[in-house]
Every structure is written in structure tokens, then in C-alpha cells.
Amino acid sequence: MLRRSRLIGALVAVFVFLLGAPAPASALAPDDRCAVRAPGASAAAERAVAAACKQVAAGVWYTWGGGHGPKPGPTYGQVDPTDPASEHDPERLGFDCSGLVRHAYAEATGSDILNSPASGQYYTHHAAERFTAAQGLAPLVPGDLLVWGKSWDLHHIAIYLGEGKMVEARQSGTKLMVSDVRLSGDYYGAVRVDTGPVTGHVFRTWGSGVWTKAEPSTRAARVYAFPGPTTIRVQCQKHAEEVTSDGYTNDAWSYLPDYKAWMTNIYIQGPAWLNGVPTCTF
């Protein structure tokens, strides 16, 4: 009995040791799986995640300006004059942040629906819903696009995976990666892409550097400046402050729901009062 008791005691000691022993380094490493990591995403959003993750698995580089060729896909980058780490980008086939997003959703939909830099992708008329920084990650699902910067200068974009993770083309000198979502700093919010047909009153702007405003007035706060002709959705229009610019005078302003902002009708292609667009009641 004594021998048996000693054997049992030894086994118990070994079991306790194993429970208290540190886990192998691999078990402690962060979980950087590039995959859909939460439910709720559309089939198209899941395909976009898969397309981005395929590039991660292939070890593709970040390249400044990469992914903005005539068609979606990796391209050789350029030297960023402000970033010494970009010196090898012209030798590397890859993506910048918005180039990766463009490629992922083109692969998911078969159409180049996000052919623009980060700001244009956030303000896309292919938007189902937008989320503020204050809402955090709770309402997000895989495939949503996260952006950083200010309303008029969104400088970075990434694809949400779920579980607080994202896939991104982050910066020169690194490869595409899975990262923890950075909610501190200048995180601005997120947008959910609607890959179906665009609904609503769709128009095209003209001119460059044209600002949208928080109210239908030239004195109101600036929201976003269109870098060039842009496709927009108009919810409604109203008569407000009269504006004279580029040889035109008009008091009609349109409300752009994707920007939560107003724009003088002067810079919207079409008649001074847009056909088929209702009058705003607010």
C-alpha cells in the first residue's frame, strides 16, 4: 500500500507541475489568422476578406501607390518623398492600403466598385451603413472598412476580420498583415459596403477641390472636398444661401447622405434644380 501511495503521489505531483508549467511559446503567440472571424458578414464581404487574406498568405509587400493601375491587382509602387522606408517600393509588386481594399472588393464582386483612395472608398455611394468612432467595434462585421484621419483627409483604410482584428497594407518596409484594430489616435469610423445595385438619385460632380458643408451655407463648417469629378447620391435639395462661383449663380443646395453634408448645385452636373430630386423637409 505504501508503494502504491507513493506512486499515486508522484503522478499527482507530475499533473500539478504540468498544470503550472508555462505554455509553449507558440501557444502564447497572438492569433493572427487571416480569415472571417465572426458571423454576420454578407457572402460578398466574406469573399473580399478571402481575397485580401490570399495576398497575406502569398507574402505580398506594401508598396506606396500599389494597386492603383488600370485594373485592380498588385502593381509596383513609388517612392514616397516623406518616407525613407519606401526606397524599395518601386522594386516591389504589391498594394497600398486602398489598393488592397480595391482589389479585395473587385475580386468579391467582379466589378471595380472601389477604385479610389481611402477617402473615396469611405464615402463611396456603394455604402450600406456607416459607423462612428464612438460606436467602437460592436456593430461591425467582417468585410467592413475601417478608416483613420479626418473627414476631409482619411489617410488609411483596412478590412475588418472580426474579434478585434483587421487585415491591412500598413506601411513601406512591411508585408500585408493581420493587426489588432487601432481604436486610439485618429480612428474615424467604418463603412459597410453594399455590393448590390446603387439606389437613389445618382449624379456626377464637376470641378476639383469642391467642399461639402455641414449646412447649406458657404460659412458652414467644411466636411469633405472632392478631389475631382465624383459620383454621388443626392437625397433631396432645397433653396438656401445664394452662391456665385465659376461664372454661375444658384441658391439650390443638395443633401448628400453618404457624406452627411450639403453641396451647392453649381457643382452637380445637370440643371440648376435637379430633375426628379425631392425638396428637403429639414
The residue whose grid cell reads 461591425 is 140
Question: In angstroms, rounded to a whole number, what is the distance separating the alpha carbons of residues 123 and 235?
Answer: 15
Question: 43-57 and 97-109 are packed helices; what angle lies between their axes, rounded to 10 degrees?
Answer: 130
Which candidate in 53, 68, 125, 168 is catalytic? 168
For the chain, the C-alpha Rg in angstroms (whole number) is 25
Q: What is the largest CA-CA distance in the chain?
A: 106
Residue 161 sits at the vertex; the CA angle it makes with 159 and 166, to the nearest 5 degrees, is: 55
Question: In angstroms, rounded to a whole number, what is the distance separating the alpha carbons of residues 250 and 270?
Answer: 13
Decide if 68 is catalytic. no
Decide if 241 is catalytic. no
Which candidate in 34, 97, 103, 125 is catalytic? 97
Decide if 53 is catalytic. no
CB atoms under 10 Å from CB of 245, counted, come to 13
CA proximity to 83, closest of 68, 64, 98, 109: 64
Question: In angstroms, rounded to a whole number, what is the distance separating the alpha carbons of residues 198 and 113?
Answer: 11
Which candidate in 103, 125, 126, 156 is catalytic? 156
SS (H, E, C) 76-137: ECCCCCCCHHHHHHHHCEEECHHHHHHHHHHHHHCCCCCCCCHHHHHCCCCEEEEEEHHHCC
Which sequence positions are flagged as catalytic? 97, 156, 168
